[in-house]
Amino acid sequence: MKNLLTYLGMAAIGGAILAGCGGGASDSAPANSSAARPSAMTLDAAASASPGEAEGVGTAAGASAAVAPCNAVTWSAGINYPLGTVVLYAPNGLYYKVVQVAGNGSDGTTPTISTWYWAQTTCGVAAAKKITAGYYPNWTPSPLRIRDVNARYNLIYLFAATPVGGPPGSTGAVTWSAPGNGRGAATKLKADIQYARSTQGRKIILSVGGAGNGMSFPNRSKSQTFVNSIAAIHAQLGGIDGMDWNTFEGNQTPDTAEMIWISLELKKRFPGFIISAPPAPWNPVDKEFCRAMAAAGALDYAAPQYYDGPDLANPAYVVENIRQWVSLLGASHVVVGFGIDNATNYMTRDQAITTWKQVKANHPDIRGGFDWSIHTDEAQGWPFANGVAPLINP
């Protein structure tokens, strides 16, 4: 997270601040809109799918690409699926359809064991869905439960894990705590995350760092400890779909080589694991970090943050700056970071809509958009979810 006075693309809410993926303290944002102010898995066909479709966009072994697409969900033990449901059985990567039901649907049976309830099927490649994401800060005392987040969000960032011992991290480990429990978000968190992933078809990504919590990885031992701590959080939550690098900032230079190693290790340990980063839009350090990460197959997409700094939320600036990121990474590796709020250096709903339309016209393959934050979006009546997201995924 950058200091607000350096204008490094943070998001602030309730006095807390969201970080970009990096930048030097001496860097400054543009004074006007004319100044130049994340592979192993492609989210275009999987992680960026809309609710109900995200898990069913691959093809089973030997399936023809001409097969009609299906709205498959990932099979989970103990769920009684209704007749006609198509599931992806993760252990073998094949699809199965419920062809018989009893009083409790599929009776919680396993597709590979019961041939009475289940029959193997195929699932064609659905049209690529773009990312419609939002950050879910854990400092809120009474947040909406994960499963109740507006259905237009198909990816949710859990914000944020922080380094043990404070920045830049004493051991390499990170820790993450649940949000407030005013509406049951904490006590229902694990169940809600898995419901969101398996039933709603959403992706859940752990954001690491932010709010001044930079990290360094000077050696492999610290990197390995970091990987192990992410794996522990993965197990604690019952499984997550990726990690968001939000960990170098100010005048800290990223340990890019080690961060590439970490990212690839996580991708090996958890197949389909998504790696993203929210850079400061103008910062050359951020740009080089994201370019190197993407070139190594360690970053699925970068999501520059266009809010909370002078002119960052200017639609004309966003449209022009996105051209730079597309030129650097390719449109399918770029997501647009929106901040919609009744506050200085944030967009209105209409400005965000205008901006997205122009970006999409310039770059039809742009990966999608995110909003800071889900809690603010809910409080304002969902201007991103009900205004911008339907344009991202009509």
Q: What is the pLDDT of residue 128?
A: 63
Q: What is the pLDDT of residue 103?
A: 80
Tell me the per-residue pLDDT of 80-126, one tens digit each, with 9 for 90 and over: 888 888 888 877 667 888 999 888 888 889 998 878 899 988 765 44
For residue 191, what are the CA distances in angstroms to 71, 113, 121, 230, 345? 22, 25, 28, 19, 36
Mean pLDDT over each residue of the chain, to the nearest integer: 82
Question: How large is the average pLDDT for residues 323-327?
Answer: 98
Question: How large is the average pLDDT for residues 348-373?
Answer: 97
Q: pLDDT at residue 46 above 90?
A: no
Going along 166-236, which residue ranges are E strands? 174-175, 203-209
Q: Mean pLDDT lowest for which of 37-41, 93-97, 128-132, 283-287?
A: 37-41
In terms of Cβ atoms closer than 10 Å to its own Cβ (0-12, 13-18, 19+), residue 330 is middle
- DSSP code, position 241: S
Q: What is the pLDDT of residue 114?
A: 76
**Is the full-model pTM beyond 0.75?**
no
Q: What are 35's two structure tokens?
A: 């100044």
User: At 230, is the secondary structure helix, strand, or coil?
Assistant: helix
Question: To 5 degrees, how large is the angle CA 195–CA 341–CA 392?
Answer: 55
Q: Within a 10 A sphere around the Cβ of 159, how many other Cβ atoms?
A: 29
Q: Within a 10 A sphere around the Cβ of 125, how many other Cβ atoms?
A: 17
Residue 220 makes CB contacts below 8 A (sequence gap 6+) with 258, 261
Tell me the per-residue pLDDT of 228-275, one tens digit each, with 9 for 90 and over: 999 999 999 999 999 999 987 656 789 999 999 999 999 999 999 999
Cα torsion through 161, 166, 171, 172, rounded to 10: 40
Q: pLDDT at residue 68 above 50?
A: no
Going along 224-376, which residue ranges are E strands? 242-246, 274-277, 301-302, 305-306, 335-338, 368-371
Nearest 5°: phi and psi at 377? -60, -45
Residue 253 makes CB contacts below 8 A (sequence gap 6+) with 285
Which one-letter amino acid corresponds to residue 193?
I
Question: To 5 degrees, how large is the angle CA 65–CA 69–CA 75?
Answer: 110
257 Cα distance to chain centroid = 22
Q: Is 74 within 8 Å of 90 (Cβ atoms)?
A: yes
